[in-house]
């Protein structure tokens, strides 16, 4: 049998496209899928002379690979990963490397890493972003684990990664579950970015009365400026697409229920556990959850009228304000996500370099955007600062857009349009710019009903008061 340099287990679209990507970069691949029919179909329909060898069993795949073996798992996150690892173990040797390229939870990755290390087998949690097209043409790759494990895969991963002007969009994210943690935060920012875009669409449609074509043109124009980003470009493309059957914009025929695979929810949970406020990232998760209660929303809407404040014609000033507001949402989402990465790296000792994270996100991934250049410049000036808000230039970008965001929110309220991503982004900025918040009253009440004590601003120490009226 041919001696292949890497094995891939799992031949759904992502696994197939990664196999082709490796092979087209001169890396020989052995592939295996639980159902043999899918392997045969892949070899028959998509492989055109590339150095790809099919295997009928995990044992055959292991025999096919050069030592130390390098095996990439592209199976569904969760129990399936554990099952494949368990079935694969009898055919592995100390020094081999197993990589999980799915959207696994970072804690599961660390558990698997420790279990395999006890048997001398190396493990990487590899975050991969870019969707099926990116997997084929060049994804953004975020591997985490031991430096020794990464060294075994580095050459191969760099060759298949997306390219920016700064090089391959792949870098070592740090120890333990850092790779999957970074990918989880990437997805949380993606949720917020998409929610912000959806809110802008809703505002243009229902507050300004703009048709889909005009909204598409607006997104396309924004994509030429500071909002230059894959997701903004994609929004314009989606809004332009016409249903072949009706000739109407297809997006208007799609049920308003957004799915999710859990990474956004995990990020919100991780933020709460680490004590990091990520309101915009969390609001985007909640918005998707709310979207699923379609029947409930229809029933409530029937008995909950709202004044129709739709404009007869698009207001250019409102569109300009909306562009500023979406920029503020995006910047706030990145600020929150990067703060979460900083705290996770400190708490879990990942050693994650956030400037490298931003570089890896420059191409191939879903949240690639022009703002990443600016954000990386700021982080490089003081990489130890947890907050982008500590930097004057970042604050200036937000401060200049806050009045416009406020006008959009006021107009959205009049039209009955929810904008949770924008609203939480504004509240996040306003809260972080306040030297004093009303939490003093909360703490006084906690002491009054539960003797939880409090601290004073005029003297050191911990205090308790009997708050009975005199």
452 is in an annotated binding site: yes
Q: What is the pLDDT of residue 261?
A: 83
Q: What is the pLDDT of residue 411?
A: 94
Of 153, 176, 199, the position where a domain reaches its end is: 176
Residue 304 belongs to a domain: yes
Q: What is the pLDDT of residue 306?
A: 87
pLDDT digits (tens, 9 = 90+) for 127-181: 999 999 999 999 999 999 999 999 999 999 999 999 999 999 999 999 999 999 9
Query: In terms of domains, do 428 and 444 share one?
Result: no
- In the predicted model, is pLDDT for residue 24 greater than 90? yes
pLDDT digits (tens, 9 = 90+) for 84-107: 999 999 999 999 999 999 999 999
pLDDT digits (tens, 9 = 90+) for 385-422: 888 999 999 999 999 999 999 999 999 999 999 999 99
| Angle at CA of residue 35, ends 29 and 36, nearest 5° | 60
Residue pair 140/130 in contact by the 8 Å Cβ criterion: yes
Lowest model confidence (mean pLDDT) among 4-8, 315-319, 336-340, 451-455: 315-319
208 is in an annotated binding site: no
Q: What is the pLDDT of residue 1?
A: 54
**Boundaries of domain holding 31:** 6-176
CA–CA dist 120, 96 (Å, integer): 8
Query: In terms of domains, do 70 and 160 share one?
Result: yes
Residue 1 belongs to a domain: no
Going from the C-alpha of 136 to that of each of 50, 133, 188, 205, the distances in angstroms are 13, 5, 23, 35
Residue 79 belongs to a domain: yes
Alpha carbon 64 to its chain centroid, in Å, reads 35
Q: What is the CATH number of the domain that holds 464?
A: 1.20.5.320
| Angle at CA of residue 419, ends 417 and 423, nearest 5° | 135
Query: In terms of domains, do 80 and 221 share one?
Result: no
pLDDT digits (tens, 9 = 90+) for 60-89: 999 999 999 999 999 999 999 999 999 999
Query: In terms of domains, do 425 and 444 share one?
Result: no
Residues with catalytic function: 183, 190
Q: What is the pLDDT of residue 313?
A: 62
Q: What is the pLDDT of residue 221?
A: 98
Query: In terms of domains, do 271 and 323 share one?
Result: yes
Residue 367 belongs to a domain: yes
34 is in an annotated binding site: yes
Of 176, 206, 237, the position where a domain reaches its end is: 176
Report residue 124's pLDDT band, with 50, 70 and 90 as the boundaries. Answer: very high
Q: What is the pLDDT of residue 383?
A: 85
CA neighbor of 61 nearest in space, from 98, 91, 85, 84: 91
pLDDT digits (tens, 9 = 90+) for 343-400: 999 999 999 999 999 999 999 999 999 999 999 999 999 888 888 999 999 999 999 9
Total residues belonging to the chain: 470
Of 142, 176, 210, the position where a domain reaches its end is: 176
Q: What is the CATH number of the domain that holds 259?
A: 1.10.1040.10
Query: In terms of domains, do 361 and 387 share one?
Result: yes
Q: What is the pTM of this model?
A: 0.95
Q: What is the pLDDT of residue 105?
A: 97
Query: In terms of domains, do 465 and 422 share one?
Result: no
Report residue 2's pLDDT band, with 50, 70 and 90 as the boundaries. Answer: low
25 is in an annotated binding site: no
- In the predicted model, is pLDDT for residue 470 greater than 60? no
How large a percentage of the chain has pLDDT more than 70? 98
Query: In terms of domains, do 216 and 120 share one?
Result: no
How large a percentage of the chain has pLDDT more than 90? 94
Query: In terms of domains, do 190 and 172 share one?
Result: no
Query: In terms of domains, do 189 and 332 share one?
Result: yes
Domains held by the chain: number: 3
Residue pair 7/72 in contact by the 8 Å Cβ criterion: yes
């Amino acid at each position: 049998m041919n001696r292949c340099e890497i094995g891939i287990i799992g031949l759904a679209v992502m696994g197939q496209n990664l196999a082709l990507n490796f092979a087209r970069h001169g890396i020989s691949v052995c592939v295996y899928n639980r159902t043999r029919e899918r392997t045969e179909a892949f070899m028959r329909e998509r492989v055109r002379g590339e150095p790809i060898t099919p295997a009928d069993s995990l044992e055959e795949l292991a025999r096919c690979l050069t030592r130390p073996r390098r095996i990439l798992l592209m199976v569904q996150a969760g129990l399936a990963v554990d099952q494949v690892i368990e079935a694969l173990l009898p055919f592995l040797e100390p020094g081999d490397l197993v990589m999980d390229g799915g959207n696994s939870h970072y804690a599961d990755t660390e558990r698997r890493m420790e279990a395999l290390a006890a048997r001398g087998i190396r493990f990487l949690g590899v975050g991969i972003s870019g969707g099926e097209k990116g997997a084929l043409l060049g994804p953004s790759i975020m591997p985490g684990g031991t430096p020794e494990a990464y060294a075994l895969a580095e050459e191969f991963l760099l060759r298949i990664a997306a390219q920016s002007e700064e090089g391959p969009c792949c870098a070592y994210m740090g120890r333990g579950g850092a790779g999957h943690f970074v990918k989880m935060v990437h997805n949380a920012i993606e949720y917020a970015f998409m929610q912000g875009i959806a809110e802008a669409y809703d505002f243009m449609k229902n507050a300004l009365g703009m048709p889909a074509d005009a909204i598409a043109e607006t997104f396309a124009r924004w994509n030429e400026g500071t909002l230059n980003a894959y997701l903004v470009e994609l929004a314009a493309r989606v809004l332009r697409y016409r249903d072949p059957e009706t000739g109407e914009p297809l997006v208007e025929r799609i049920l308003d229920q957004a799915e999710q695979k859990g990474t956004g929810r995990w990020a919100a949970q991780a933020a709460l556990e680490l004590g990091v406020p990520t309101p915009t990232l969390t609001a985007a998760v909640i918005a998707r959850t709310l979207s699923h209660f379609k029947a409930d929303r229809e029933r409530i809407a029937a008995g909950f009228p709202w004044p129709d404040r739709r404009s007869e014609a698009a207001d250019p000033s409102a569109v300009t304000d909306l562009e500023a507001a979406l920029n503020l949402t995006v910047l706030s989402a990145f600020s929150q996500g990067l703060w979460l990465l900083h705290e996770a790296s400190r708490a879990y000792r990942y050693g994650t370099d956030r400037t490298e994270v931003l570089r890896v996100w420059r191409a191939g991934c879903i949240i690639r955007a022009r703002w990443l250049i600016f954000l990386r410049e700021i982080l490089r000036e003081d990489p130890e600062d947890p907050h982008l808000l500590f930097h004057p230039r970042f604050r200036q970008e937000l401060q200049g857009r806050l009045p416009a965001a406020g006008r959009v929110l006021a107009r959205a309220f009049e039209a009955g349009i929810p904008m949770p991503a924008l609203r939480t982004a504004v509240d996040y900025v306003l809260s972080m710019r306040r030297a004093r918040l009303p939490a003093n009253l909360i703490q006084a009440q906690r002491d009054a009903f539960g003797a939880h004590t409090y601290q004073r601003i005029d003297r050191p120490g911990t205090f308790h008061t009997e708050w009975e009226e005199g």
